[in-house]
Amino acid sequence: MWMIVPGKKRGNPLCAEISDNFAILGGLVSDEEIEATARQFVRKVTGYRQPSRANRDPFDQAVSEVSAAIRTLMDNLVTR
């Protein structure tokens, strides 16, 4: 699972880094955590904190697809 943690890249407190916390969680990740991470990822990619009404559907679709990809990955990872 990926987790968003605050960063201070170039002095900007709004920047964030995505760090790996799969080992910490032992692979147990809730759907809410996955969706929050997917939403943050899509925000970073698009540069939108809140998309306009015109972009709401594609934004939400991207969050849904990224969430599904993360869930598939997490469900299929093999740990030692």
Q: Could you read off the pLDDT of 38-80 as tens digits, one per residue?
A: 999 999 999 999 999 999 999 999 999 999 999 898 888 887 6
The total number of structural domains that make up the chain: 1
pLDDT band at 18 (very low <50, low <70, confident <90, very high): low
How far apart, in whole angstroms, are the C-alpha atoms of residue 5 and residue 32? 16
The boundaries of the domain holding residue 62 are: 2-76
Give the residue among 11, 76, 65 at the shortest CA–CA distance from 41. 65
Q: Is the pLDDT of residue 9 over 80?
A: no
What does the pLDDT read at residue 28?
Answer: 73
What does the pLDDT read at residue 38?
Answer: 93
